[in-house]
Structure 1
């Protein structure tokens, strides 16, 4: 078992290389297949051991940026919890291995695990889904058809079929045929890419104001952060007035472009109003807004030049132990960086797009881009453009920013929408519906991206049916486990009633 666990841990390490910063996506099906081979012949009750080893090898490496940015304790806590999900998956996979059509059951179990850990505990942690590794590969074109969940299922199924061929030493031709068919299904959209109809165009400005001081502490000089965004917007207005730049239809500021409540702080409010009046179009302001003495809201506020603040989007997935402390009333966590979280951030529930300059805009704030629900709801509500307001200053010296930007590019492909990313000091960019980065700001600089983007109408099949695919996988997994349990009990009952042989065995 020790040797199996070591091999499983190595497979997890290999899987982490499929993502940024190494980004070798071809490793993905091989690494998952190697993990499944490690489970071959392992009793169900002990399968959690190589499963946990795989999870440790993968997740501790995949989110190593958390140790670099937040410290050892949050990194160990989060990676440890996520590794447990792979232990649970291994238990289910071991129950299915060797049974009829087991690759399908295993692939469904993998998706069930991903969906589960993307929602629980607390708001979950989607980082590390298989589909997040397919950027710049032919597999990305399947996203508009089957969504993130569907692509994860197909990748897991390909890995399971590879493991099947290894277990049978390639002797079963139908296993090879199934592998070819599933791979062809994943890659078929390269021949006919899903495109939503264009219904108009707008000029968008994404402002990256930069973070003073060390660059990784948004609170080091939070007022200067706001001034940077105000000054960059006013400078853009001056260039527009001088005929040096086209006038934008809307402007996007990042999350934490103001770290204090603009409704309560006069200096912050006056700065925002000066910038909005100068540019003369709505500005999406990223602000921390008070919600009583003990709570706050992380919001994107549409600030109009004539009517002031209007429509708002509140971050749907605040980060536990980063933006709020679960069970604060029961635990004394007044130490380290946790001591800086003096009040908890409430989660938003908005499911409709914002109206910005007459355009229905789906908004996502930072980690929201990794979750399916908020983006899906706003797309179904008629969004024609996707914006991402993010403050990655805490992670600016790590590869978290690259992983998140890769996810954002995949979301643009999945939704079929132009995507505008505004970050405090990186990575800001303008992304086309095919994932192409048409404009990008360098990290730790002040820059304004000004581009003409298209508005697209409708919803891709992947967005519309992604949740259904996930629920189907969950239902199939539960049903499969019920069947396995009933079969096991029936077999035990038959053995217990079998007549004894002369040697006394049954």
Structure 2
């Protein structure tokens, strides 16, 4: 009888492994939560790189569909609370559809990062760079798709109080996002890596990336003679969608606020302003067609003896069409039709309704938008008194090109007219964070004028002055310095985003090449088969240790 040879145990697998699912899912949840806390109203900006690192670690070495699922989880945890202000008056379903749609992009980011894992495993130094490039590419897509995109929640908009905000002067919001995500990539590489570059050096590198921002010069350089600017925040009778039903009261609030300011100027309590900014929707009564509205605005302009930028809703040009506009009203002359800006990017499903029949199935609130807003086709460059204002209306401040076009067309100051009466204070503060980035990006004194708050002035270093409260009337006045200089970010325009997004695509192509080579070569291809051989204890221990080291 021949005895069977004893089975030789297979050597332990050295194939790289992802983190266990029981670990990866909580990490994805934590990624969404920490990203949320980085934004206003929490403003824990330093958590943004931590969020990036958590998601990068959770999806590493997973299949693309698993990476998509983990990214989607992180996106839902982040965008749900961040955009909660959209459900205050329109119901739950539109809010859910919006934040789920935005979360899909984070899901695609997770899928792309998971797919590119072989590139990271082959060239570990690429992990921070790859992470940063994929974040920029994800935001570039989300800023444009669908219906012109919705850029809310970009990493760059969480950095209002951070040294990384200063990178906006070099490459705008895309570069700020890149730097924040690069720091996150260094953190995950530090936490994962056991060999090669010491962990402490990678962690120090993440801190250094942020600290370098302190060396970036900001401030806009020399400017023209300062001009005195007043913001009138008239407030509304009540918050919510019904504020439009009180549009004459809203107009009167802003007229009265301006007249009261004029009274303080007359008595010497306040210096004479050179120009006055009213917010979006400060006159939802068309002053072109309504003599009473025109007379009320003229009364305000004549009393303050300065031009007023009025946020007005204008009828036309076609039937059932309206325009969201900023119009210049001159004292003693009235409306100057040659100085008018029409909002270029009306908000879909709010200012106009695409696919109206389908949208009505989602929420009957769409019928409140009886007339679709028509988009303008020119940047908001408006001469006002001694300077030229770059006018941007409401959500347009989130779009890089719209703001940049006002500066390249000659704006010395930036003004963001907005109406936050249909939302809440968190939305207003998220918007103010965007104004802060734009001020640094283009080296311009800037302001945000809101119907209900928050309003205030922003300097070219991103600092905020004379910030008003929410849901309260207020008038604030400051000296602002118009500038004609252009930052590097202004001069480069779209190039930083285009280059970084292109490199993200190139990285995914490189990952695809590595995957293809692995598929065709297979483990041990081209080598003579080896007889089964039991590894020594030390070898098995080393291999297992190596597997544990690579998996972190």
Q: TM-score, normalised by structure 2?
A: 0.85
1:393 matched to which residue of 2?
Answer: 421
| Aligned partner of 2:321 among 275, 280, 295 | 295
The structural deviation recorded for 1:113 is 0.4
1:434 to 1:321, Cα distance in 2 relative to 1, 3 A: same
Return the alpha-carbon distance in structure 1 between the equivalents of residues 299 and 37 of structure 2: 47
The structural deviation recorded for 1:288 is 0.8
Describe how 1:134-149 pairs up with structure 2 within 5 A.
134-149=159-174
| Aligned partner of 2:284 among 259, 266, 274 | 259
2:86 matched to which residue of 1?
Answer: 66
| Aligned partner of 1:108 among 133, 137, 161 | 133
1:191 to 1:478, Cα distance in 2 relative to 1, 3 A: closer
Return the alpha-carbon distance in structure 2 between the equivalents of residues 207 and 185 of structure 1: 40
Return the alpha-carbon distance in structure 1 between the equivalents of residues 306 and 64 of structure 2: 61
Indicate conservation of the 8 Å contact 1:8/1:38, yes or no. yes
Does residue 321 (structure 1) correspond to residue 349 (structure 2)? The answer is yes
Q: TM-score, normalised by structure 1?
A: 0.92
The structural deviation recorded for 1:278 is 2.2
Higher mean C-alpha displacement, 407-416 vs 358-367? 407-416
Structure number, greater radius of gyration: 2
The structural deviation recorded for 1:483 is 2.5
Does residue 172 (structure 1) correspond to residue 200 (structure 2)? The answer is no
Describe how 1:183-194 pairs up with structure 2 within 5 A.
183-191=207-215, 193-194=217-218
Indicate conservation of the 8 Å contact 1:200/1:456, yes or no. no
The structural deviation recorded for 1:15 is 1.4
1:312 to 1:414, Cα distance in 2 relative to 1, 3 A: same
Indicate conservation of the 8 Å contact 2:167/2:216, yes or no. no
Return the alpha-carbon distance in structure 2 between the equivalents of residues 38 and 335 of structure 1: 36
Describe how 1:13-92 pairs up with structure 2 within 5 A.
13-92=33-112
The structural deviation recorded for 1:499 is 7.3
Higher mean C-alpha displacement, 178-187 vs 47-56? 178-187
Q: How many equivalent pairs are there? A: 502
Higher mean C-alpha displacement, 1-10 vs 177-186? 177-186
Please list every run of 5 or more consecutive structure 2 residues that lacks an aligned counterpart in the other structure: 1-20, 531-552
| Aligned partner of 1:351 among 379, 402, 407 | 379
1:312 matched to which residue of 2?
Answer: 340
Return the alpha-carbon distance in structure 1 between the equivalents of residues 458 and 359 of structure 2: 43
The structural deviation recorded for 1:308 is 2.5
2:549 matched to which residue of 1?
Answer: none
Indicate conservation of the 8 Å contact 1:369/1:408, yes or no. yes
CA deviations over 1:422-450 (Å, ceiling 9, x no partner): 11111111222222222122222222212
CA deviations over 1:65-100 (Å, ceiling 9, x no partner): 222343211210110000100111111111222242
2:521 matched to which residue of 1?
Answer: 494
1:363 matched to which residue of 2?
Answer: 391
Return the alpha-carbon distance in structure 2 between the equivalents of residues 269 and 333 of structure 1: 39
CA deviations over 1:117-171 (Å, ceiling 9, x no partner): 01211121111111111112222222212321101101111111211122214x3
The structural deviation recorded for 1:336 is 3.2
The structural deviation recorded for 1:496 is 11
1:499 to 1:419, Cα distance in 2 relative to 1, 3 A: closer
Return the alpha-carbon distance in structure 1 between the equivalents of residues 241 and 359 of structure 2: 28
Helix, strand or coil at the partner of 2:329: strand
